[in-house]
Structure 1
């Protein structure tokens, strides 16, 4: 799968942009703040329905405008796909698939991306929320229907927390909160699917991440991933039914505590995944170089996993301002590790940061305009 053209209207700092893109490696070069990352953000949005830089879609609409439009042509073998998204400051967003009205939430079925940015160091050093987001974006890419499961879980969690807060200040006894039983069932049913999918993902990622780490770092430091659930699950691979029952048991036995706290203390929204090198947690023990290598390996491992599973071919690999942070040896090893992907987007402040083997199609970005660089 690859992007063959992209058109933007009133997206970030682009009033208007139209470029044709070839297969292979596309390098976007320009100073900070010129629009390099905005371009790859637009592509990534269609695949993930979110931004890696902003929690609100309105931030992607050009200042003073009511809507932004992203239009991307995709090519896979002989198949051509046109995806169009209109992000509205007021009212719901709109989408079209091959010029016909479509649902934006279905777009991940047609386009897959894997994006690495310097912010990914938070996967190693940051709080559990960043790691949960990494897992959930990937399970949606693998199984798009999980997008609605995650959304429904967030709504159920919000409703349950509202009820718990109400009960906290109510004279009614905990035992009379019959409505809470309904939300317990709803939360456990949805949450169990998320937990089982995360378990499967972590298991399947182990091999690709280990191989990616060795290819980038040039050494085998035995990278490992381990889910750390707030709900104690049976040993081995848990079924959805087993996970649901375990979840319900925890909610039931801890109801008084949750009412007292006014919040849901157990479930996938409280889970984490632990990363380790040589049996030591990366957080607090890994060096700066090891941290970069592990973060890169998570993304490259994810790309290789999607490549093995997808009927659409390779995911589109995006490396946003990565090479400037790597030493010369890691740059060359990373270039070698990604060179066989069908399409790669790279952003860089200066072209010298990018290994020569990846300088196939170079564009210069300046003040929201894009022009092919002369060779």
Structure 2
């Protein structure tokens, strides 16, 4: 899978831009605040129908305009697939092969991406919320059922928390409805936990080998799903659903007193272990960064295993945050394997020596020019047609 063409209209600081990419490594060069990250963000939004930088879609629309448009031409297996996402005051419109999709869930998954930005290096030492978001965003792209269960869970959780506040304020005494909400929450929650555990098992398989390679086989990396439910080891999905319902009932008095739901996947976490020791607590900064790098690179193979195709890899100024050894391992891992978009102020020595035949773009004030490795301008015209490509 790779993105052949991209057209942006009124997206961030891009007024009307058309680009054609290499299936290998595409390097986006430019100083800060010129539009490198905006271009990467547009690809991420095209794939996931949401931004990794803001929850407000209006911020994605060029100042002074009412809507924005992202069009992409994706090569998958033996065919080419046009994708389009319109952003406006009335929400999003998504099209696959020129056909508007009734639900965004039918659109997500047509193009898979992995984003690796400097903040992802804090995946290990950062907050539990960041690690939960990591699973939800990455796994949600390739597992429609997980995305459905997660959306349903959040809806029931919101209702349940609202009702717990009513019980806490003694505005109602009806616990029958609380039982109904608890049963629904446990049904979706148990499913989410089971699916997360499976995803982490798959991710660990690839991350372990990557981590051993980076550390000259000195450190063994492993994952542990850290649930607020008690004693979940070895439980099936159905057993997890029953266990969660039971433990929710046991928490009623405490939850009513606090007015919120205290257990469930919305409060769970991931533990990263190196040689059986918690790297969040005992690991050095280097070990934490190596763990994050191993996890992000492992995603590439998990997505390939799950979907049959490699995803796109978006590297947003991440090389500047890695030392030479980790830069080398990253670039050697992705070379000739996955279409990559890499942003940087300039090509450093490691990238210049390791990246073979990159396609280079220079970005300034939202204007993109294709250049040679020596900085020479290449002139090329790409034509996009409304709701179609030629």
Verify same fold: TM over 0.5.
yes
Deviation at 1:145, TM superposition (A): 2.8
Distance 1:52 1:87 in 2: 15
8 Å CA contact 2:72, 2:82 repeated in 1 = yes
Where 1:114 maps in the other structure, the secondary structure is strand
8 Å CA contact 2:166, 2:172 repeated in 1 = no
For the pair 1:302 / 2:299, whether they are aligned, the reply is: yes
Equivalences for residues 340-351 of structure 1 within 5 A: 340-351=336-347
Instruction: Quote the residue 2:92 is aligned against.
Output: 93
CA RMSD of aligned residues (A): 1.6
Deviation string 1:47-80 (CA, Å, 9 cap, x unpaired) is 3332222232222122222111110100123301
Identify if the C-alpha distance between structure 1 residues 48 and 122 changes in structure 2 by more than 3 Å, giving closer, same or farther. Answer: farther
Identify if the C-alpha distance between structure 1 residues 260 and 132 changes in structure 2 by more than 3 Å, giving closer, same or farther. Answer: same
For the pair 1:190 / 2:194, whether they are aligned, the reply is: no
Instruction: Quote the residue 1:232 is aligned against.
Output: 230
Distance 2:214 2:45 in 1: 27
Identify if the C-alpha distance between structure 1 residues 171 and 335 changes in structure 2 by more than 3 Å, giving closer, same or farther. Answer: closer
Identify if the C-alpha distance between structure 1 residues 247 and 55 changes in structure 2 by more than 3 Å, giving closer, same or farther. Answer: same
Instruction: Quote the residue 2:179 is aligned against.
Output: 181
Deviation at 1:112, TM superposition (A): 0.8
For the pair 1:274 / 2:271, whether they are aligned, the reply is: yes
More off after superposition, 219-228 vs 78-87? 219-228
Instruction: Quote the residue 1:122 is aligned against.
Output: 122
Distance 1:302 1:105 in 2: 21
8 Å CA contact 1:215, 1:334 repeated in 2 = no
Distance 1:99 1:170 in 2: 53
Structure 2 runs not aligned, ≥5 long: 374-390
Structure 1 runs not aligned, ≥5 long: none
Tell me the TM-score normalized by structure 1: 0.94
Where 2:17 maps in the other structure, the secondary structure is strand
Q: In structure 2, which of residues 310, 313, 318 is the aligned counterpart of residue 314 of structure 1?
A: 310
Where 1:72 maps in the other structure, the secondary structure is strand
8 Å CA contact 2:83, 2:96 repeated in 1 = yes
Instruction: Quote the residue 1:34 is aligned against.
Output: 34
8 Å CA contact 2:29, 2:361 repeated in 1 = yes
Distance 1:146 1:274 in 2: 21
Instruction: Quote the residue 2:378 is aligned against.
Output: none
Instruction: Quote the residue 1:84 is aligned against.
Output: 84
The aligned length equals 370
Deviation at 1:355, TM superposition (A): 4.0
Distance 1:30 1:143 in 2: 35
Q: In structure 2, which of residues 363, 382, 386 is the aligned counterpart of residue 365 of structure 1?
A: 363
